[in-house]
Amino acid sequence: MNQLANQIAVVTGAGRGIGRAIALQFAAAGADVVCVSRTAENSEKTAGEIRALGRKAWAHAVDVADGAAVAAAAEAILAEAGRVDILVNNAGITRDGLILRMSEADWDAVVDTNLKGAFFFIKAFSRAFLKQRSGRILNISSVSALMGIAGQSNYSASKAGVIGLTRAVAREFASRGVTVNALAPGFIETDMTAVLTAEMKGDIAQRIPLGRLGRPEDIAEAALFLAGPGAGYITGQVLTVDGGLVM
């Protein structure tokens, strides 16, 4: 079913993990996708997979924490794609450590990428969204924002900020028909969790009512719903996709 037929989606952090899964899911649902990643290699790899599905795809290498680079990329995207209907702010990093030993550089790197990056992309496309009086913005937060995780004060703070940003922008954009929502993934099998040992993953799975870590595709399915026509009356919300970890 082509839920996103004739839609143009921009997905940041599309080179791997959750972002790649969302980009591919959107393409399978009929969207053409702009793949944004820090490296040209990663963004082009996902774009190539989307073209293989018969959809249009564009690849952009952008450091989302660089406001000038984001503004330039947004201008180029609008010129080549014509418009943007869906924006997914997924790009994110971790620099874990106990706050006693956390450097200011590690704090800034995480906040700048995870929170400021979402701000830059929303701002860059805001005029286009408001002018066309339609659109979907999805921001990827985390259960770390809802429950706090030791050793992730920078990550938890940045992802909690994403929720606040989501709700504020949802109020600003609602009158123009643009919805803004957040997804809060739990522990998902990505590069971020690949560093965990099998024993650590087993311990985590025991704490999850559904008994397993999630897959990137689990998040992509939820993103598809919020980006699709069935979610037109949902805005300013946080959808937790975590196997029941936070309830």
Who's near 60: CB < 8 A, 6+ residues apart? 34, 35, 36, 37, 43, 73, 76, 77
Q: Does 155 qualify as catalytic in the annotation?
A: yes
Q: 107, 129, 155, 187: which one is catalytic?
A: 155
Who's near 52: CB < 8 A, 6+ residues apart? none
- Other Cβ atoms less than 10 A from the Cβ of 232: the count is 11
3-state secondary structure the chain: CCCCCCCEEEEECCCCHHHHHHHHHHHHCCCEEEEEECCHHHHHHHHHHHHHCCCCEEEEECCCCCHHHHHHHHHHHHHHHCCCCEEEECCCCCCCCCCCCCCHHHHHHHHHHHHHHHHHHHHHHHHHHHHHCCEEEEEECCCHHHHCCCCCHHHHHHHHHHHHHHHHHHHHHHHHCEEEEEEEECCECCHHHHCCCHHHHHHHHHHCCCCCCECHHHHHHHHHHHHCHHHCCCCCCEEEECCCCCC
Contact 163, 145 (CB under 8 A): yes
Q: Which residues are identified as catalytic?
A: 155
